[in-house]
Each structure stands twice: as structure tokens, then as C-alpha cells.
Amino acid sequence: MATHPPFVTGIVPGIAAALPSAKTTSYRRGRRSEFAIWWCEIDRVLLALVLTLMAIGTVAVAAASPASARRLSTAAVKIDELHFFALHLRWQVLGLAAMFGASLLPREMARRAGIVLGFAMLAALMLVPLIGTQVNGSRRWLNLGVSLQPSEFLKPAFAIGLAWILSWRVRDPNLPVMRLSVGLMALTGALLMAQPDFGSTLLFAAVWFALMLLSGLEMRRILFAGGGGIALLVTAYIFYDNARVRIDAFLGGGTAFDQVDLAQRTLLAGGWTGSGLWLGTRKLSLPEAHTDYIFSVIGEEFGLLACMVVVLLYLAIIVRVLLRLVEEEDLFTVLAATGLTAQLGGQAFINILVNLQLFPSKGMTLPLISYGGSSTVALCLSVGFLLAITRRNPFIKGERLSGRPNERPSERMSPRANRGLK
């Protein structure tokens, strides 16, 4: 038997150990392949629009942070002027991680994750009246080491869960989807009003009504359910003091220099081009400048033209999603994507209209722009689910979650893709 010198027998195992194994190489190729597929299927235009809004939000919070820091500082405790800006950057990093993590999910997994999240947040909402933290007269947060607002995370889960229930009609038209969807809305509304959170209840109800219309249910039933919603709204006006005060203030024009009046004055103070970053003065008297009224801060420091850009970006997101759904044949995908977009767009335009004194004050943040903890992460998670649900193979037309039982993938591909297979 041939023998090798000692230095040869020592070198060969060292080289073998230094080289990556076939299993490691295969894993890395698989990860690169998954990312390449994600990049091809993701709606990159939608992603760019969302990231642009988040970048604007970073600058806007930096502009609003000194005003809120000075307002909340006391003689004993002085808050650094960029305190909220620094915190916002941390929450944005977590939000981006949640967004990209959710967008990597296949459509079916995104649906399951949304449903599981919905059950978890409904259970958390039941705990809020019992052990929740009270702020400004409302008990909406759970203190789990980090303050968590379950209603924010319920927003994407509600749209996905409701879309899943309504999509059952495709398989069996006799299933009681109407009663189940009404029950889900009633349970969600009751838990929200127990906090109380009248503004979020209205937003959830608006998304519910939009999906009911889009799902093709009988108009008679939808109108009956809508009438019940109006009756509940009147009941809330009679028995919920905060809602009655805000609605009366809106209808009566409010009082001089209340928070909505201050927001409008701040918004118009900068003219078309704004006073410049950190040069605004009206914002110093504005409550919640970094959250509810950040749109007014943008108006003062960057001008009405910047406000117009923000509005156009929200409109572009809505239009982009609708265009993405034009050729979609799966009912769940259409309903879920529409519900998620309605929540994002509805919350944005409610906030903007409040700043313009065109809607009663709701205490609702401007999505992807306002400072927020759990709300920032939850909104980014909503966008991640939206990106996952609207993922589409560019070579497949009319993609469905599940085709006919005996249908081959090549039968659902476009002629161009079929020619490539041949």
C-alpha cells in the first residue's frame, strides 16, 4: 500500500475542511433563489411608494420632535428635542423587518398568518379592559415589557380574516358568510368600544362595509346591516361623551384655538413652500405634533406642495393595488388586498381631513409617516401582508390560489410562457 508524506496527509483534510460542503452551497443557492423569486414576484412599484412615504415620515418626525419634546418637558424632567426622532428610527427598523418578513411569505402562508394573528389580537383585546394601561382616558394598551396596542395589529388580521370568510361563497354559496361576517364585526366593535376607541371602530366598520359590497352579497342584506351600523352610531353619539363632544365641535365649528383649529393654522402657516426644517413656530403650540397632527407640521415646515405630494403618494398606492387586482381571479386575494388598502388609505385620509377641519378629530395617526411604536410596526406588517398577497409570477396570467384539480401549471401560463416550456 502506497504511503504519503505526513505533510500531504495533513494538508488534504485542512483543504477539505476549509471548502464549503455541498450541503452548505446548496443552502446558499436556495436562499439566493428564494430571494430572486421574491424580487420577481413582488410589486416593486408599490414597495417603492411605501418606502418613499416612510422616508418622508422620518424627516417629518425629525421636524415635529422638538415641538412635542418641549411640550412634554417639565421643570424636573427635560426631554431631548430629538428624543421622538431617535425612537422613531428604532421603530422603523423593526417595522421594515416585519414588512420584509411578511412579504417573503407565500400567499397561502400569509393568509394563515393573518388568521392566527387575528385570533391572538381578539384574545388580547379581551384582556385590555382588565389589565390594560390607561392613557388620556382610554384603556387601549397592554404593558408586556413593551407597550402593545392590540387594535393596531388587529387591522391587517381583520381584513384578511374577513376576506377569508367571504371567499367561502365560491366553494359553497349556502354557507352563512353573512352572519359570520356580521358576528366578526360586532365582536370587534364591542371590544373596541370597551376601551373606548370610537375612531378605530368606524374604520373597521368602513372596511367591513367595503368588503361586503365587493364580495357580491345581496344588496338587501348589506343595506340591512348598514342600517344597523347607523343605529349603533346614533347610540354611540348618545351614550359616548367623547364622540358626542367631537361631533358637536365639528358641526358647530369648534372653538378658537382648539386642537383642530391649531392644526389648520399650523398647516397653512408655511404657505406653498414652507418655512424650512426646524424653522416653524406654530407647531410649538400644537398637541401631538409628532403623531395625530404631523400633516400640519409638514405643511408649516415644507409647504402645501409637500402636503400635495404626500396625498398623491397615498392615491398612487391605492391606484397601484387596484391595477394589480384587475386580472386577479381569486376572490380571497381581491378582498384581502382591497381590505388592507382600504384600511391604509382610509386612515390616511381621515387624518388629513382632520388636519383640514373637514372631519371630526379622531386621534388617528398618519400611516407610515407619524411617530408610533406598535402602530408603526403594525402598519408595516399590513404592507408586508399586502405585498405577499399581491405577489404574482410575471409569466402566469390570472393566477389562482388553487386551480382545477387536474389542471397542470402550464395550462394556466400565458402563451409566451408556454412557448418557453416547449
The DSSP code sequence of 250-316 is HHHT--TTSHHHHHHHHHHHTTTT-S-TT--SGGGG-TTTTTTTHHHHHHHHH-HHHHHHHHHHHHH
Residue type, 121: M
In the numeric block, which cell numbers belong to residue 131?
389589565
Residues ≥6 apart with Cβ < 8 Å to 22: none
Task: Give me the pLDDT at residue 160, please.
Answer: 95
Interior angle at CA 151, CA 213 and CA 288, nearest 5? 110
Q: Is the pLDDT of residue 408 over 50?
A: no
- Mean of per-residue pLDDT scores for the chain: 81
What are the two backbone dihedrals, phi and then psi, of residue 166, each rounded to the nearest 5 degrees? -65, -30
Least confident residue range of 36-50, 168-182, 200-214, 334-348? 168-182
Task: Give me the pLDDT at residue 370, please.
Answer: 92
Q: Does the CA dihedral 386-389-394-397 come out positive or negative? A: negative
Task: Give me the pLDDT at residue 415, please.
Answer: 43
Given pLDDT bands bounded at 50, 70 and 90, which one contains residue 416?
very low
Task: Give me the pLDDT at residue 136, please.
Answer: 64
Helix-helix angle 331-355:294-302, to 10 degrees:
60
Find, among 28, 128, 133, 105, the residue nearest to 383 by Cα: 105
Using one digit for the tens of pLDDT, what is the confidence trace for 118-143?
999 999 999 888 887 777 667 787 87
Residues ≥6 apart with Cβ < 8 Å to 337: 321, 324, 325, 328, 386, 389, 390
Side-chain-side CA neighbours of residue 361 (13 Å): 21
Question: Residues 278, 63: contact at Cβ < 8 Å?
Answer: yes
**Which position has the higher pLDDT, 363 or 19?**
363
For the chain, helix, strand, coil in percent to 5 are 70, 5, 25
Question: The pTM is what?
Answer: 0.81
Find, among 293, 258, 287, 263, the residue nearest to 61 by Cα: 293
For residues 323 and 343, give the distance between their C-alpha atoms in angstroms, rounded to a whole number: 17
Question: Residues 380, 155: contact at Cβ < 8 Å?
Answer: no
